[in-house]
Amino acid sequence: MRIEGSKVLLTGATGGLGQAIARALHARGAQLILTGRRIDVLGPLASALGARTLSVDLSDPVELGRLVSEVGDVDILVANAALPGTGPLRSFTVEEIDRALEVNLRAPIVLAHAFAPAMVKRGHGHLVFVSSLSGKAATPDASIYGATKFGLRGFATAMRGELHDSGVGVSTIFPGFIREAGMFAEAKVSLPVGVGTRAPRHVAEAVVRAIERNRGEIDVAPLSLRLGAMFASVAPEVSLRFQRLAGGAKVSRDLGQAQQGKR
C-alpha cells in the first residue's frame, strides 16, 4: 500500500518510538492524526509534521469511543500506544492490570473493529500493531506485559487471515530492547553482556516496510534475540531456564521497579 496521501491514525505518538514512527510516515507523505498523553510533546510534534492531534486516554472506553467518532475513517491504523507491564504479578494492583489490558490490548482491538470494515469496503487499507518480542517469548516477572503482547500477536495473526484477499493488510512489529528512547531506554536498565539493542528509527523503518510490502511480522532486534524468541516458541520451559541463567529475570525485575510509577 502507498503511504503517500493516506490518512493515518498513530496512537502513542508522544513516546520515543511514536515520534520516530510519526516522522517516518510524514516523510512518506502521510496525512497524520496523532494521539498521546503528553500534550507538551504532542503539540510541537504535530506542528512540525503538519498533523492533527487528539488527546485521548485509551484506558477509558468512553474516551476511546470519542476518538473513533472524531477521527472518522482512516486508511492506515498504527496501534503503537502501550503501558509498562513488567514486574511480578503481586506488585500490580487490579486497577493497574486493567489499565494495561485496556491500553495494550483492548484499545487496538476496538480501533481495528472500528476502522477495518470501511477499509474492506474500499478495498484497501492497513492495520499495524506494535507488539514486542515479549509477545513471542515469555520472560519472568513480565506476566502482564507478556499477556498483552502475546494477545496482540494472536489477534493480529487471526485478522491477517480473516482479511486475506480483501485488500486490507495486517502487520505486527516486534521490537526487542530499544536504545535512545522508549520504555526500556527511559528505565536505564543494564543488559547482560552480549545482548544487543536497536534504535527507534529501526522500528519506524519496520512500520513503513510492513505497510508498503504488506509484511505479516517484522522483528526489530539483533539476530541473537530473534533466534531466542524463535526457540522460546518451540521450547518455552528450556527458554525460561536459560533466561534465568543469563540474567533475564534480573532485567525484568529492574524494568518493573523503574517503570512502576508509569503503570
Rounded to whole angstroms, how far apart are CA atoms 219 and 226?
7
Rounded to whole angstroms, how far apart are CA atoms 43 and 54?
10
Rounded to whole angstroms, how far apart are CA atoms 186 and 178?
10
Rounded to whole angstroms, how far apart are CA atoms 26 and 18?
12
* Structural contact between residues 148 and 134, judged by C-beta atoms closer than 8 angstroms: no
Rounded to whole angstroms, how far apart are CA atoms 133 and 176?
5
Q: What is the DSSP string of 188-199?
A: TPPPPTT---B-
- Which is catalytic among the residues 92, 115, 129, 145? 145
What is the grid cell recorded at 64? 476511546
Q: What is the DSSP string of 85-124?
A: --S-GGG--HHHHHHHHIIIIIHHHHHHHHHHHHHHHHT-
Rounded to whole angstroms, how far apart are CA atoms 232 and 229?
5
Q: Is 145 annotated as catalytic?
A: yes
Give the CA-trace dihedral at 207, 213, 219, 222, to 10 degrees.
Answer: -100
Rounded to whole angstroms, how far apart are CA atoms 50 and 95?
36
Q: What are phi and psi of 56, to 5 degrees?
A: -140, 140
Active-site residue numbers?
145
